[in-house]
Structure 1
Amino acid sequence: MPRDNMATLIQRIARQARLTFRRGSGGSGGAPEAGFPDNLQQLQQLLSQLRAEDLNISPRRCATLPAPSPPPPPSHLPPVTYMHICETAEFSLGVFLLKSGTSIPLHDHPGMYGVLKVLYGTLRISCLDPLPAPPPTAAPPPRFDPPLRAGQRAVVRRALLRSRAEYTEASAPCLLSPQRDNLHQIDAVDGPAAFLDILAPPYDPDDGRDCHYYRLLEPARGAPAAAAAGPAPGPAAPPPLPREVWLLETPQAADFCGTTMMASLLILHSIE
């Protein structure tokens, strides 16, 4: 059962998000207001209190009796579901549900803040920062495996893979800013996972805030970048971070994410 203060807590989170990312604050493209850091800290403190039962969600439980051969899930169901809660001009609020072993591919939030709070399960979040384009006199990108098609080498971009960390419901919220960790990939580890997601301001392609997806390119064995990383690492010995990587923009996968609705009217009315 949800706690008695469920509505109060999620409404307080929505109100604090609106206050934190109001027009003219750090989340709306202008210079941050003097109170922005304090407001952001208060928002993170509220998010730290949130639990899955507060939103009446939980992972699907497997049957306790053994099944000889459980049927696979229907192929038409997307691997990720987004539960929309509310959206204003300042921010959007919702919950992502990830099936076991699935990922939200590497993508960006141009000019936007992201605040994530795990509700159940374990997430591995990989964070990257874009790097400036190399000068014309710089060495060309290395060879990649698999090889790129004609014309793709001209559009690859450099990035710095800064961190790769695991988050659980006991972890503090993960903060992504316009200047740091804006490129990121989110993986469900060892089971299904869910997280509350705040984006500020919301995506708006007409205002230059569209989502771009990327693929991490692996240097071919023997290429300079691969040689610099040392011998081919095994699962227990990934290359040290931070390290420079190369990315290629890709289209969003078809049928990647489904959307459903939560009780958004209650939240919206509470913050007006």
Structure 2
Amino acid sequence: MGWRMRVVHTTGFAYDDAVTRSFNEARLTPLTDARQNVILNRVETTPATRPYRYMDYWGSAVTAFDLHVPHSALAVTGLSVVETESGVGPAGSRWSWEELRSEENLDLYAEFLAPTEYVPADGELAGAAADLARGVEPVEAVRRAADWVYSRMTYVPGTTSVHTSAVQAWSDRKGVCQDYAHLTLLLLRAMGIPCRYVSGYLHPDPEAAIGETVAGQSHAWIEAFTGTWWGYDPTNATAIDEQHISVGVGRDYADVPPLKGIFHGGRSTDLDVIVEITRLA
């Protein structure tokens, strides 16, 4: 049985002097796909703006807006109501290594196989990837890689930043969901399995009471292509279920930040992010 959830994600900025101009992109609109359906979504700003929406190259919804009046603070709120189901898993998605490594597929999924700034190539981790893939089919190799990351990393908030690469997080064996996802992507790309980064939210309580609002969290996991795309959560070593709400997909975090932009004027002095999730059904 699926869930229905309301998510309110608010990001607030304060500046030490008036900002005269700013140009921004928000990725706060959940995906509508085979696993989830968006019933309601709106993105609002204070000061008010006249935003416009488009789909980016990777298929994520972007709300773009700009401000041309002096302002000393900016708040951006995304409100969504979403129905979710458990992930479809890799059913019917059991391609062989030979199929994945065909010239056609190497070309088609090249962008999800190439190294990036957050997911660079690394010799040590490539060796670990080869060991994990040995003797199993790609679907099992995906689970092995994610579970390997889960068993060797320690979840410690504050030890990394949004700029930390998979290799940097691995050197300390500590990180958060973004690092777990990037490290798993590195292993999968070293194996030759196309894979992508997923941003979204995770309701923290599998036994959540209807109508109760809790402090939620932004979350990240991975999707792998082994004939079809399917997701897995390396931070929790679990399949994707009703508690996960997908918002954006891309090669790594750089493709899916909840909010990014540029501004002219005062220096940013404060950042406040609040995520509230309510299970409605």
Q: TM (normalized to structure 2)? A: 0.23
Larger Rg: 1
Instruction: Please state which structure has a larger fraction of its residues in strand.
Output: 2
Q: Which has the higher contact order (CA 8 A, sep 6+)?
A: 2
TM score, norm. by length of structure 1: 0.23
